[in-house]
Amino acid sequence: MRPVLVLASILVGGAAASRPCAAQTLSPLDRTVSLALGGVSLKDALEEVARRAGVRIAYSGRVVPLDRSVSLQLDAVQVRAALDSLLHGTGAVPTVDRTGQILLVMRGQGRGGMARQTGSIAGTVRDDVNAAALPSADIALVGTRFATRTDADGHYAIAEVPAGSYRLRARALGYAPSDTTVLIQDGQETAADVRLHASAIELNPIVAIGYGNVERRDLTGAVASISSDQFKTAAAPTVTLSSGLQGKAAGVQVISNTGLPGGGLRVRVRGTGSITANGEPLYVIDGVPALQGTGSSNPQDNPLISIDANEIASIDVLKDVSATAIYGARGANGVVLITTTRGRRGDSRLTVESSYGIQKIANTIPVLSAPDFMTITNEARANANRSLLYTPAQIAAAQTYDYPAMLLRTAGQTNQTVTFSGGDQRLRYLLSGNYTKQEGIEIGSDFQRFGIRLNLDSDVRSRFRVGSSLNLTRASRNAPAQENGSLGNSANGIEAAMQFAPFQAPRDSTGNWIKQSPTTEPVPNPVASAHELKDQNTFARLLGSAYAELDVASGLSVRSTFGGNFQFNNIGFYAPRSILAGGAGGSGFINASQVRDLTNENTVTYRRPDLGPGNLEVLGGFSVQTFHNEAVTANGANFPTDETSIYNLGTGSQLIPPGSGVTESAILSYLGRTTYNVHDKYLFTFTARRDGSSVFGANHKWALFPSGAFAWRISDEGFMQHQSLLDDLKLRVSYGQVGNQAVGPYQSLSSLGIAWYSSGATEIPALAPSGNMPNPDLKWEKKAELNVGIDASLLAGRVSLTVDAYRAKTTDLLLSVTVPSTTGYTSQLRNIGSVRNTGVEMSLSTVNVARGAFRWQSSLNVARNRNRVVDLGTGLDASGNRVPIQQLTLTPRTGNFFGPGDVYLVRLAQPLGSIYGYRVAGLWQTGDACYLKNAAANCIPGEYKIADVNGDSVIDANDRVILGHGDPDFYGGLGNRLSYGRVSLDLLFTFAQGNEIINAGAAYGCLGIMQANERTCMLDRWTPTHTNTNIPRANNGRPRRLYSTLVEDGSYLRLKTLSLSVELPARLIRGIESARLFVTGQNVWITTKYTGFDPDVNSMGGDARFGGIDIGAYPQSRVWNVGVSATY
């Protein structure tokens, strides 16, 4: 039907154009005009001519240099003369179309001495529903250089087009593109009016790329974008903006380190490329680089915790080297550009949003009752030839105390946001305030945040603009149960509750707390710790920036930005004498620190729209960033009373010397980027940044990071003109190099530390060299990457597809190596080794149904990354020969369960953080042939049958093998939005496949060692009368090892977010412009084989070497929120 309507409009327009005029009228070019202009832009001058002469003038920025400064004084001259003066030297000339509109077009040229046969085309672009004119719509003849934009009335015109048949393509933001076949005839004007259909998918949004913006269709790099709409339904229990990235951007992996309110997350963009340096991406907030600390357990280290989800306008993730090279030494891990909402021209608006939610633990794990625990403990001790602990009478009389139930609770959370925004031609403003409080599902834990944001933008003059962004946050978190616990006698939180003796009451007969579990593995009382322990982390942060931008001349602008992050942090810890951590007289400490992070960035941008066959943009500038952190710590123990808590540490009889320190670093950078767009078909980008950093050795302070990218819009080629399936098809290729400087200062130097020397009974402090040998050659880790991508739009914008494939190699990895003792040092940080990441990413957006008031949209993103260790440097073998290092063995913090080296290793040709332990082939059964020495001791029925890998008939450290890897084979998200009129339903599924997790909590769950309480899986243990099981017999003497039974499949499919919202009619409440009611659920449903609390866990935070381990992490919660949002 649409082609018929377009054809009809062409025919009608052609008929109207050929109809003779009833009377001769004065040409718009012959009208008179007087002007007095001084130092204004050409665009403003043309608007002034149109206004004074009462004519309409249409032009394209591709033809007319609109930013050029002009001065002109004319009195009563023809419009033609005025325009000739203004356009002098541009190559543009005025002409008049059939509607009487003046068109500014390029002067035609002949070929071979003969006049070229040319014609023109003109028309109007309108909305196909209400016929509203669409200004700034892009019009192009596909496969040619002829293109323009519609004016304020939706009109367009293109002159001097060679005669022939063309495909006319019209595009507008928020509309599906339209293609129409047109015929240009010599000396004639073709009429082609176009109607565009509104699209549910924003087809060509503006994307932030670092020091600038670009339309998505003109991207040459790999960039994933998340709009503000995708955050409106978030109910993130961690109150961390990073969680809003999970499942929404291809190639961006977000893993919760914990479910603790205000806890950290592990964010990886295209895998991990470093062994010891920070692997978190660089976060840039409103153009200012922020600290990298989202993986930290301390909320003050996480810059995103200060930003409320309602403040987000967009998030753009720069993934490939072409996109991140503009950030040079900090771009190796990807860059996340966060743009906050700003005021707009128009009436002032007040928006209020309020929500309240309840949280419960998403998954529970049952533990043994008191009688079962005591019975199985006796059995375990008997099997280990040890004396029994509990008599039959004690077992019969035992009362069960459910410690997990005593520790956990149904918790509340609330979020309140108020935003006031508006503006006029000169000033736009946005003022917002927010308050968030989240109780933890473990008693005693909570998080609170107060925030204020003020964003201002002002057009001081037509060529001078200024603005600022200020965000003030105060937040505090109580965490008596640490987010990532440990095992055994150092366990806390939920893990301690599961291990605590179930027959022991939490208090004694006098009402005092029982300090620890009366078991052979003494576990601190988790309920007592939750009630009595003070562990409060408080910070205040001012994150702000200000900019000034001046248009110096036509196409030339300068911009200067100043940014700062000022933080005041305080950690107060006090353990009273009533709990185990307090000792005999209480113990406490205070840590106070302040951070000053300052940035100044200055750039010059030159744009020339008509350089040869294309448009040129050149960016150049420099950046300076300084970091200063100073801290002081005071400790004490054995106080006369607990009442003074941390506020009188000097009264402690056991005084620990205070500590203080300062850390400083700086980075100076020069940057440049050139883009060249040829006919909107061939796009080139060249980027380079030279960084100098204080954290590296004296011989390698500076490095250069270049990149180049090319994109080819295949759909605009002539051979693609006569197909209708593809609206847009673009091929991208990029290659370049970036760096990673995310290491602590002073690591290239030898440092001094405090050593204590005895003089009789007196301890005397003194300074002594540390064991780290200085390295003046310490330099950046460097990442080189090749990326190939395809962007496609199909079926009139109903399907959008992006596919990227990449191959990246990080070299000069920072690793600490042992040095000979004769040097006087023990180790040295060096650049050795390399890691490779290869992968494929896919993003798909579709409009499945758009019929009447009903719409169904879907989005899918999937990523696969393959990580491999390529080189680990060299070392000395037993004979003193230098040979390649094959592997590094590592051990994370796991309390007292695993022995050294039993958990992880870094091995050549394997992914980082390979899980390393003993392969269990089943259980020994009566009659099995024993392949080990001393069968009576090593092949006992009911014990683990461990694989003898090296075949020496002895199970020892040489039999360890790789049991799995923490990174998934692929991961991603699937979103669906179904809307009918005012009602919409949003669902977001997240998934991961092929990763393994060390369920370290199960080490005290199903191994049957029974030195503390274990899980109900022990009811299915092997016994002489119950042999058909995979749970070993109870044995108090079983060796403490990482068995393969503790390494579980971490694959999952989760309904991450479900949201139902209803837009209320504005007439219901007087003065309301819009209102919305919503109900949102988070962690609604999951299917997984993992037997821990949640497979979305990583107890070792951002450490690249230890991916996929659950050491009693704070459990995830299921959240249900109800709220209302209203705009006045």
Q: What is the pLDDT of residue 71?
A: 80
Which pLDDT value is given to residue 1091?
94
Domains in the chain: ranges and CATH: 2-196 (2.60.40.1120), 206-347 (2.170.130.10), 352-918+966-1127 (2.40.170.20), 920-959 (no CATH)
Looking at residue 770, what is its pLDDT?
A: 78
Nearest CA to 814 among 868, 778, 776? Answer: 778
Residues 6+ apart with CB under 8 A from 858: 844, 845, 846, 848, 974, 975, 976, 977
pLDDT at 848: 94
Q: Where residue 293 falls among pLDDT bands split at 50, 70, 90?
A: low
pLDDT of residue 2: 40
pLDDT score for 491: 66
DSSP secondary-structure letter at 366? -
Give the torsion through C-alpha atoms of 924, 930, 936, 937, to 10 deg: -70
- Total-model pTM: 0.83
Q: What is the pLDDT of residue 1104?
A: 66
Mean pLDDT of 1043-1049: 95
In this predicted model, what pLDDT tens digit does every residue of 502-554 receive, in sequence order? 999 999 999 999 999 998 888 899 999 999 999 888 999 999 999 999 999 88
Per-residue confidence at 229, pLDDT binned at 50, 70, 90? low
- Whether the predicted pLDDT of 1114 surpasses 60: yes
Choice among 199-208, 610-619, 775-784 with the minimum mean pLDDT: 199-208
What pLDDT shows up at residue 235?
40
**How many C-beta atoms surround the C-beta of residue 205 within 10 A?**
16
Tokens of 425: 């031609």
Both tokens of 514, joined, read 């029982």
The whole-angstrom separation of Cα 657 and Cα 662 is 17
Averaged pLDDT for residues 295-310 = 76
The Cβ of residue 379 has, within 10 Å, a number of other Cβ atoms equal to 20
Task: Give me the pLDDT at residue 490, please.
Answer: 60
Model pLDDT, residue 424: 87
Kindly indicate the confidence band of residue 769, based on its pLDDT and cuts at 50, 70 and 90: confident
* Cα–Cα distance for residue pair 683/677, rounded to 1 Å: 5
Predicted confidence (pLDDT) at residue 5 exceeds the cutoff of 70: no
**What pLDDT was estimated at residue 436?**
93
Q: At a CB cut-off of 8 Å and minimum separation 6, what does 22 contact?
A: none
pLDDT tens digit sequence for 436-445: 999 999 999 9
Q: What distance in Å separates the CA atoms of residue 684 and residue 613, rounded to the nearest whole number? A: 13
Q: What is the pLDDT of residues 649-703, one digit of tens each?
A: 888 888 788 888 899 999 999 999 999 999 888 999 999 999 999 988 889 899 9
Confidence of residue 3 (pLDDT cuts 50, 70, 90): very low
Q: Which two tokens stand for residue 759?
A: 């003089």
**Of 158-162, 597-601, 998-1002, which range is least confident?**
158-162
Q: Which residues pair with 627 in a beta bridge?
A: 597, 665
Per-residue pLDDT band at 1093 (split at 50, 70, 90): very high
pLDDT(143) > 70? no
Higher pLDDT, 199 or 864: 864
Tens of pLDDT, residues 149-194: 888 788 998 888 888 778 888 888 767 778 888 888 877 888 999 9
pLDDT at 6: 34
Which carries the bigger pLDDT value, residue 1040 or residue 390? 390
Q: What is the mean pLDDT of residues 1062-1072?
A: 82
- Among 236-250, 758-772, 1038-1052, where is mean pLDDT lowest? 236-250
Mean pLDDT of all residues in 1082-1105: 86
Q: What is the mean pLDDT of residues 1063-1085?
A: 87
pLDDT greater at residue 871 or residue 490: 871
Three-state secondary structure along 806-857? EEEEEECCEEEEECCHHHCCCEEEEECCEEEEEEEEEEEEEEEEEECCEEEE
Least confident of 457-471, 894-908, 1068-1082: 894-908
Single-letter amino acid code for the residue at 1000: A
Q: Is the Cβ–Cβ distance between 1100 and 484 less than 8 Å?
A: yes
What is the band of 1111 on the pLDDT scale with cuts at 50, 70, 90? confident
Q: Evaluate if residue 900 carries a pLDDT over 50.
A: no
Angle at 569 between CA 747 and CA 456, to 5 degrees: 105
Q: What is the mean pLDDT of residues 574-581?
A: 92
Q: How far is CA 594 from CA 207, 447, 627, 1115, in A?
A: 35, 21, 11, 31
pLDDT at 483 over 50: no
Q: Give mean pLDDT, residues 567-591.
A: 92
Q: Please give the Cα distance from 475 to 312 (Å, whole number).
A: 19
What's the distance, Cα to Cα, between the start and end of the chain in Å? Answer: 41
Looking at residue 161, its pLDDT comes to: 83
Give the mean model confidence (pLDDT) for residues 50-73.
81
Average pLDDT over residues 249-257: 88
Question: What percentage of residues in the chain have a pLDDT greater than 70?
Answer: 91
pLDDT at site 170: 87
pLDDT value of position 14: 34
Q: Taking CA 742 as the corner, what is the angle to CA 736 and CA 746, rounded to the nearest 5 degrees?
A: 125
**Confidence category of residue 8, pLDDT binned at 50, 70, 90:** very low
The whole-number average pLDDT for the span 486-491 is: 58
Better-predicted residue by pLDDT, 98 or 967 = 967
Instruction: Categorize the per-residue pLDDT at 600 as very low, low, confident or very high, splitting at 50, 70 and 90.
Output: very high
Average pLDDT, the chain: 86
Query: So what's the pLDDT on residue 473?
Result: 95
pLDDT at 826: 82
CB within 8 Å of 47: residues ≥ 6 apart: 57
Asked if residue 633 has pLDDT above 90, the reply is yes
In this predicted structure, the answer to whether residue 486 has a pLDDT above a threshold of 70 is no
**Stronger pLDDT, 84 or 580, i.e. the higher one:** 580
- Going by pLDDT thresholds of 50, 70 and 90, the confidence category of residue 234 is very low
Region 740-762: what's the mean pLDDT? 77
Q: What is the DSSP string of 654-681?
A: EEEEEEEEEEEEEEEEEEEEEEEEETTT
Tell me if 1075 sits within 8 A of 1125, measured CB to CB.
yes
